[in-house]
Amino acid sequence: MTHTSRAFVLTAALLLSGTTFAACDVPADPQIPQGAAATGADMLKAKKAVEGFVSEAEAYMQCGVALAQQERMASKMEKVVESFNQELRAYKAKG
């Protein structure tokens, strides 16, 4: 392989790997409204935000981060989902 070919392959690999590194960003916590004061639209928006957070968190955990980081993210996911579920129950309770 010539020097130019190696440089091209290395450059292409670096450019393509950028998409992999983007998935390694820690996702931002979603905003979850207080269920007792929220509207249906607020809760639907929060549901979509939580689903997006979970999807981004799963991608983060699969991008090659250390096991300890994966465990912290899994714990954070559980807390976010439980927080949303608590607020959803409060929203439904106000009937």
Q: Exposed, middle or buried: residue 47 (CB in 10 Å: 0-12, 13-18, 19+)?
A: middle
Query: What pLDDT does 5 receive?
Result: 52
For the stretch 67-88, pLDDT in tens is 999 999 999 999 999 999 999 9
Give the position of tokens 């989902």: 81
Contact 55, 80 (CB under 8 A): no
Query: What pLDDT does 93 receive?
Result: 96
Distance of CA 23 to the CA centre of its chain: 9
Domains of the chain by residue range:
3-93
Query: What pLDDT does 80 receive?
Result: 98
The rounded distance, in Å, linking the Cα atoms of 26 and 30 is 12
Read off the pTM.
0.75
Q: Please report which confidence band the pLDDT of residue 48 belongs to, taking 50, 70 and 90 as the band edges.
A: very high
